[in-house]
Amino acid sequence: MSTTSTQSEDWMVSGEGHPKRWGILGVLVVSLLIVVLDSTVLNIALPTIQEDLEATQSQLVWSVDSYVLVFASLLFTWGVLGDRYGRRRVLVIGLVVFGAASLVSAFSATPEMLILSRAVMGVGGAAVMPTTLAIITVVFPPHERGRAIGAWAGAVGAAVALGPVLGGILLEHPEWSSWLTGNDWGAVFLINVPVVILGLIGVYWLVPETRNPHPAKLDIIGLILSFVGLVLVVYGIIHASAENAWLVAPVLAPILVGVAIIIAFLFYEAKSSHKSFDVGLFKNRGYAVAIAAVSLTFFAMQGIFFSLPFFFQTLRGMSTLQTGLAFLPFAVGQFLAAPSSGRLVERFGYRLVMGSGLVLVALALGIMGQIQIDTPLWLLLLIFFLFGSGMGLMIAPGTSLMQNVLPLARAGVGSAVQNTVRQVMGALGIAIMGTILGTYYATNILPVLEPLGSEFPTVIAEESVVATDKALTGVEAQTGQNLEVVRSSAYEVYLNGAHLTMWISGAVVVVAFLILVIGLPKIEPPRAGDRAPSDTWDEPEAVTQDAILAEQGLTSPDPADQEPDAPGESPPEPERPPDSA
């Protein structure tokens, strides 16, 4: 039992917040930081992992997407479970699962083992994200809640900046962990374990247990339909690199079946009384346009970030630490642009600020589509800064817009839907762009390798630029030949494929820009004293309950969905009611 569990629960009704709320915030930020940090650290390690495990392009994509798909599918479910059975309990479960799966990932001996353990990490990570935000909402009074949630969100931004650098440091000195894991990349997962242990200790001593007295029902059918549909679509897309073709049955069949299941899921959610994905939100034009623009931009960003570590490390010969540092201007651009976007929106409006962000992103992608192996590093860093600045001007006001245009009673589920859609689009971006790059390389590398003769391991070398580089190095060591001309040609093939993905990503951002400019209605940013759009102001109690749940990424259930306490069962722990709306 934590020390807080024996304390008086007066803070829940006094309106003053938990007496140790800032310490609790520190624990929750650490818990969230390690979950978000993992994905950004992994990107830097992809070339090393591919070489060590001899992973194919499709296996490498799965090692990233297995985490994202599971994470996105379970976000809402874990939030409801936390409301029902205790948020502290669910947070502990999430941290334990995440830490244990990280340990297994560090010792993975095959690509399949890494993919599976990464999926389990997604199970744990999905439990941490909504419960940390829900606990913050409960333990802080309304007048401090904005600062606390800002710190929580800042942890995500810090992970974007620190992840690549931390990954570079860990990979630059593999001897720190290779004696234990037997590989040069296990440290990027092993580092999670002590931080998880630290988080668990903090949760035990500081974080109180809280529950929602009226939790929503679980949407089991919706969970199964959405997960199966998404996995089938992503499987079909990624499998195209193994088939080296798109218009073949093994690729089209799972995609079509997956799309059909997703359509069935949307119809089911539209009729469900306890939906986890509120299709009705898209009837709000402002919300629909904003989520489309933000999600397409996220698709483009995730898609090209998959290939950039290979460009820096394999083609340019930069170290892992240098690669991590090269990503810093992107984070700096976001840090500078995102906080100022709110003031810019108040002065110029959503359309102009978000549209300007998309122009910067499209410009950055267009220039990246022209870069060469010997492009000056300062120019690459400038491009990354423009890219990050554009993302900051787009994502921050877009996220705010999606919440501001919804009635207060639907803000919670609106937050959950936008987060899920954004994660799914990121997974699709990685799958589609990674597969396009893989199929392009496998098709165009064959003429380059043909002059080496039948003794050269072409079947292995065509899998990826890392495999080609490794095979060429092996032949050079055995025969003493200088194959630098062949290597340069192989790098050129990879770079051309990367250019293709960057141009496609740029086109996607242009589509997002057109959707925003043409489709977004005139929406005034909220001013001090404004009330949120709501059709439930005549029901103050319902609005107050939803105000809490809105900041937790959840939504109030219909009365018919509420389940009475079992005979003899004590009622759930009451929550501190917020100030009047």
Which segments of the chain have a pLDDT < 50? 1-8, 532, 535-581
Extract the tokens encoding 342.
Answer: 């709110």
Q: Is 553 left (phi over 0), alpha (psi -120 to 50) or beta?
A: left
Extract the tokens encoding 112.
Answer: 């399949």
Q: How many CB atoms lie within 10 A of CB 142?
A: 16
Q: Which residues contact 248 (CB under 8 A, 6 or more apart)?
A: none
DSSP reduced 3-state for 164: helix
User: Taking a C-beta distance cutoff of 8 angstroms, is the pair 52, 184 a contact?
Assistant: yes
Fold classification of 15-217 is Growth Hormone; Chain: A; (1.20.1250)
Check residue 572 and give its pLDDT: 47
The greatest distance separating any two alpha carbons of the chain, rounded to the nearest whole angstrom, comes to: 83
Rounded Cα–Cα distance for residues 104 and 212 (Å): 34
Which residue shows structure tokens 């990932």?
A: 105
Q: Is 343 exposed, middle or buried (CB count within 10 Å of its CB: 0-12, 13-18, 19+)?
A: exposed
Distance of CA 165 to the CA centre of its chain: 18
Check residue 150 and give its pLDDT: 65
Check residue 540 and give its pLDDT: 34
pLDDT tens digits, residue range 483-531?
889 999 999 999 999 999 999 999 999 999 999 999 999 887 766 555 5
Closest CA to 289 of 553, 478, 518, 558: 518
Buried residues in 17-54 as b, exposed as e (16+ CB within 10 A): bbebbbebbebbbbbbbbbbbbbbbbbbbbbbbbbbbb
User: Taking a C-beta distance cutoff of 8 angstroms, is the pair 194, 113 a contact?
Assistant: no
Check residue 409 and give its pLDDT: 55
Check residue 200 and give its pLDDT: 94
User: Taking a C-beta distance cutoff of 8 angstroms, is the pair 412, 553 a contact?
Assistant: yes
Q: Is 492 exposed, middle or buried (CB count within 10 Å of its CB: 0-12, 13-18, 19+)?
A: middle
Extract the tokens encoding 392.
Answer: 């900051």
The CATH code for residues 281-559 is 1.20.1250.20
Verdict on whether the full-model pTM lies above 0.85 = no
Rounded Cα–Cα distance for residues 179 and 192 (Å): 18
Which residue shows structure tokens 């990674």?
A: 434
* Half-sphere exposure in the Cβ direction for 62 (13 Å, CA): 24
User: Taking a C-beta distance cutoff of 8 angstroms, is the pair 365, 505 a contact?
Assistant: yes
DSSP result, 196-260: HHHHHHHHHHHPPP---SSPPPP-HHHHHHHHHHHHHHHHHHHHHHHHT-SSSHHHHHHHHHHHH
Rounded Cα–Cα distance for residues 163 and 274 (Å): 37
User: Taking a C-beta distance cutoff of 8 angstroms, is the pair 178, 184 a contact?
Assistant: yes
Check residue 530 and give its pLDDT: 52
Rounded Cα–Cα distance for residues 256 and 209 (Å): 44
pLDDT tens digits, residue range 368-387?
999 999 999 999 999 999 99
CA triple 23-27-28, angle to 5 deg: 115
Extract the tokens encoding 512.
Answer: 């997002």
* Torsion angle, alpha carbons of 171, 172, 176, 182, to 10: 50
Rounded Cα–Cα distance for residues 221 and 203 (Å): 32
Q: Which residues contact 112 (CB under 8 A, 6 or more apart)?
A: 59
